[in-house]
Amino acid sequence: MSTIQNQHCPILLASSSKYRAKLLAQLGLDFVQAAPNIDESAIDKEMPHDMVSRLSEQKALVLSEQHPMHIIISSDQIAVTQRNEILGKPLTHERAVEQLMQVSGQKLTFLTGLCVLSPLPNSADGWHKQLAVVPYYVHFRPLSLAQINDYITREQPLDCAGAFKVEGLGISLFEKLEGDDPNSLIGLPLIALCSMLANIGRPILGG
C-alpha cells in the first residue's frame, strides 16, 4: 500500500450526521461530508453484527466513484435489545417513548460499524479497505413513563438510535456503561479509527 499517496489524500466523512462530524473534528482533521443515500434495510435473517459491517462498507463504496482520491470514512450503528431486537431512530415522540419503555431496566447493546477506504493504485478495485464493528453496552435504570416523557420533551432525541443522547441528559437514564470506546456510542469509534488511519500512513500524532 502506498502510504505516501495517502498522506496527501483529502478525507471524506460519508455521513451527514452532525454528531459524527463533531467527533471526527476532535482529531484535528480537515474533512468534507457527503451523504451516502443507501437502502439501510436489513437483509432477511441477517445478524446485527453483519448488518452494521455491510452498511458501513456500502456507505463508503457508494461514494467511492465520485471521490476516487479521497480517504473515505463511514460508519453505521444499531441498538440491539436483550431479545435481539434492533432499535432504529424513533423519529417521533411516541416511538421514542416505546423504545425507552422497552429498554427500561434492561441492557442495550450498541454495535457501531466502521469502514475506511483509501486509494490503492494498481489493485484490483483501486481501494484498500479496513472494517471493524465496535460494541458498547448500556445498562438502563428502571424508568417511569413520566421520566421518559420528561426526558424526550427536554432532549428531543428523535434522530438517535435507542432514543437518547449520551452526551446530554441521556446520562441520567443509565446505571452503567461498558465498552472500550465511549465515542462509538455517539456514532464513530475514534480509537479504532486512529489505528486505521495510522495503518495507511495518516497517524493523528506525528513524531
Mean pLDDT by 10 residues, the chain (207 residues): 66 94 96 93 90 96 94 95 89 96 95 95 82 97 97 94 86 95 94 97 88
Which pLDDT value is given to residue 165? 85
Catalytic: 76?
Answer: yes
Which pLDDT value is given to residue 207? 63
Which pLDDT value is given to residue 27? 97
Q: How far apart are CA 42 and CA 51, in angstroms?
A: 7
Taking a C-beta distance cutoff of 8 angstroms, is the pair 56, 113 a contact?
Answer: yes
Which pLDDT value is given to residue 167? 79
Grid cell 480517504 in the structure block, residue: 71
Torsion of Cα atoms, 175 then 180 then 183 then 186, to 10°:
-50
pTM given for the model:
0.89
Parse the chain into domains and list their residue ranges. 3-199
Which pLDDT value is given to residue 4? 45
Q: How far apart are CA 134 and CA 113, in angstroms?
A: 6
Q: How far apart are CA 138 and CA 125, in angstroms?
A: 39
Grid cell 466502521 in the structure block, residue: 114
- Kind and range of the H or E run holding 121: none
Taking a C-beta distance cutoff of 8 angstroms, is the pair 180, 134 a contact?
Answer: yes
Q: How far apart are CA 189 and CA 183, in angstroms?
A: 5
For β-strands 174-179 and 107-119, DSSP reports them as unpaired
CATH class of 3-199: alpha beta
Residue length of the chain: 207
For β-strands 107-119 and 127-140, DSSP reports them as antiparallel
Q: Which of 76, 125, 159, 180 is catalytic?
A: 76
